[in-house]
Amino acid sequence: MKEKLLRHPIVEGILYLLCWGVFAALTGTAGGFLGGLFARAIRLVTGLRAASPWVMAVLPLCGLAIVWLYQVTGEEKNRGVNMVLASISAGDRVTMATGPLIFVSSILSHLGGASVGREGASLQLGGWLGARLAELTGLDEKNKRVGIMCGMAAVFAAVFGTPVAAAIFCIEVISVGVFYYAALVPCMFSALIGSQIGGWMGRGTDSWLLSMVPSLAPKYVLLSVLLGILCALLSVVMTVSIHSVEKGARKYLKNPYLRVVAAAVLTGLLTMALGTQKYTGAGINLVDDAMSGTVDEWAFVLKLLFTCIAVAGGFRGGEIVPTLAIGASFGALFGQLTAMPKPLGAACGMIALFAGVTNCPIASLMIAMEMFHGTGLPYFMITVSLSFALSGYYGLYGTQRFAYSKTRNEYIGDR
């Protein structure tokens, strides 16, 4: 009788809410403080580099320190975000050293000006935190995977200030076509708590107000369709370029110390040749330029080049913020060449490219909602859906699974 009562849908739902509510509160609080601390550290070193451009000269030393840290801890084969995703889809273990290593190595990468972002670090920090809390609370293997998603959502939201997008992204990114609904409530609560605490800690929020958003006239619909198609192509070019350059660097420069120094020196030489540091670091400055219509025509190509070099060299942090910079720069150029307003083109390009490289259309729309305060949503829907559908089965994360076809209503297995 007792077992039958516990299996009643209403009772089961109440128990689910109580248990995961407590875990989400714990994870959101811890993730909020961890993410807030990480975001402040990134802002500190970024500001230091901006105020003293000579700091970029330490990039080779930062790279050597990163490689040494991963080797001395036996984590040289650590797959980063791919390991965290595999811990959810395949039950792989998130190692104990992952959190401290990605925290320190990301700060070093940003200090020296490597073209890396913050999302990869956020997902790894969150996955590491969720795994540790799941072990401490005695969650079984299936529930541990939900716990890891909670941690990812909490830290991601604390760092970026987009709690709804963080919760959806950390569920959607695991397997294309599969949404883990059991993780929705705990991820949402942990993200909301994490974002609030991150804000209290002075994280700041990346958001923009879109001006001159035209009504949904046929001309602008067609331009949005074209931009979505182009962003799909650009996403394929970007993912193939990053993976190919990284593979080539590992093949021809087998020594990781030599590889990271070569990437650092090449970054410095390119920076000196261009006479500007605008392509170093994460790239939010390029998004600001794109939104104001002042970005250079070839900014998206140069940012992609700098990002390929940084990732191939072994610098840590992730590729998502550079993706936003590349997409915004490309979208602004599209607006310059067409009748689409530059800010709208930059915003749509930014979100559409994110959708193409991550294969997360719903999370992309949520990011657009939160970053642009709900303005221009029809244009985001057009560009995001086309970029997602037409970008094929490419992506930044090798362990991301493709369970369902993007263009046919059928199960295709794990690609």
Strands, DSSP E only, in 154-216? 175-176
CA dihedral 110, 313, 79, 257 (to 10 degrees): -100
What is the C-alpha separation between 223 and 215, in angstroms, rounded?
A: 13
- pLDDT of 76 reads 86
- The closest of 186, 219, 251 to 339, measured between CA atoms, is 219
Closest CA to 83 of 327, 332, 398, 406: 398
CB atoms within 10 A of CB 406: 16
Round the average pLDDT of the chain to a whole number and report it. 92
**Residue 122 pLDDT class (50, 70, 90 cuts):** very high
Amino acid found at 350? M
Cβ distance 345 to 332 under 8 Å?
Answer: yes
Q: Is the pLDDT of residue 254 over 80?
A: yes
What CA–CA distance (Å, rounded) separates 258 from 178? Answer: 41
> What angle (nearest 5°) sits at the alpha carbon of residue 370, between those of residues 366 and 375?
95
3-state secondary structure of 366: helix
Report the DSSP beta bridge partners of residue 401: 175
Residues 310 and 341: beta-carbon distance below 8 Å: no
Q: At what angle do helices 256-274 and 59-72 cross, to 10 degrees?
A: 160
6 has a pLDDT exceeding 60: no
Highest mean predicted confidence (pLDDT) among 244-248, 316-320, 401-405: 244-248
**Which residue's entry shows tokens 């930044």?**
396
DSSP secondary structure string for all residues of 29-50 = HHHHHHHHHHHHHHHHHHHHHH
* Beta pairing class for 401-402 and 175-176: parallel
Reading the block at residue 25, the tokens are: 């509160």
Q: How confident is the model at residue 203 (pLDDT cuts 50, 70, 90)?
A: confident
Q: Token pair for residue 191?
A: 């993200």
- Write down the CATH number for the domain with range 2-200: 1.10.3080.10
3-class secondary-structure state, position 402? strand
Rg of the chain, C-alpha, whole Å: 21
- Among the ranges given (27-41, 71-85, 217-231), the one the predictor scored with the smallest mean pLDDT: 71-85
Mean of the pLDDT values across residues 236-243?
Answer: 97
Helix (H, G, I), strand (E, B) or coil at 176: strand
Question: Which of helix, strand or coil describes residue 360?
Answer: coil
| Residues 6 or more apart whose Cβ sits within 8 Å of residue 247 | none
Q: Whose structure tokens read 């993200």?
A: 191
Residues of the chain with CATH 1.10.3080.10: 2-200, 218-402
Regarding the domain delimited by 218-402, which CATH topology (the fold level of the hierarchy) does it fall under?
Clc chloride channel (1.10.3080)
Q: Where are the beta strands (DSSP E) in 38-178?
A: 175-176
Q: pLDDT tens digit string along 68-105? A: 999 999 998 888 898 898 888 888 889 999 999 999 99
The per-residue pLDDT for 55 is 85
Identity (one letter) of the amino acid at 229? Answer: I
The widest CA-to-CA distance across the chain, in whole angstroms, is 77
Q: How far apart are CA 94 and CA 84, in angstroms?
A: 6
- pLDDT at 329 exceeding the cut of 60: yes
